[in-house]
Amino acid sequence: MAISNEAELVWQKALRKLGEATQMPPKSFPGIVIVSSYFAMRHAAVAALLKKDGKAPSAETEIIARFGVVVGTEGAEHGRAFNSVFDLRNAEDYDAVETPSSDEAAGACSAAKAFIAYCSQTFGFPLAAQSL
């Protein structure tokens, strides 16, 4: 599969995950919103790295780190948001004591929307009308 085609397919997955995150009410389903928001961001970052570098790391922390390097100071805010939502997703999935709140879930969804918009503008991916 050609890299650009793979990047487009991964980008479409990012948009689907963002759709899941935005359609779930954070007060009722904070965990689903957080996990879907994170994976929207992750897939968008992988698509961006495939488009920019022709490859992307597979480990979560390496994807976050490489994305931060690629976007530099211009996209630092989005890199920090990606890292924060990753932490929320880990707390949601693995922390037996602390569960993220509905406010944190709403914040994760907002961060994912901004991240997707940034990746679309910066890396030239199309946005679906209902995405944002």
- CATH code for the domain in which residue 75 is found: 1.20.120.330
Looking at the domain assignment, is residue 12 inside a domain? Answer: yes
Q: What is the pLDDT of residue 96?
A: 82
36, 39, 88, 111 from 25: Cα distances, Å: 12, 17, 17, 15
pLDDT recorded at residue 129: 59
Per the domain annotation, does 132 fall within a domain?
Answer: no
Over range 6-10, report the average pLDDT.
95
- Tally of structural domains, the chain: 1
Question: Which range marks the domain in which residue 24 is found?
Answer: 3-123
- For 88, the 3-state DSSP assignment is helix
Residue 128 is assigned to a structural domain of this protein: no
Q: What is the per-residue pLDDT across 44-80, written as a single tens digit (0 to 9) for each?
A: 999 999 999 999 999 999 999 999 999 999 999 999 9
For residue range 82-113, what is the model confidence (pLDDT) as tens digits?
999 999 999 999 988 888 899 999 999 999 99
Angle at 105 between CA 86 and CA 74, to 5 degrees: 50
CB 49 within 8 A of CB 63: yes
The pLDDT value given to residue 98: 80
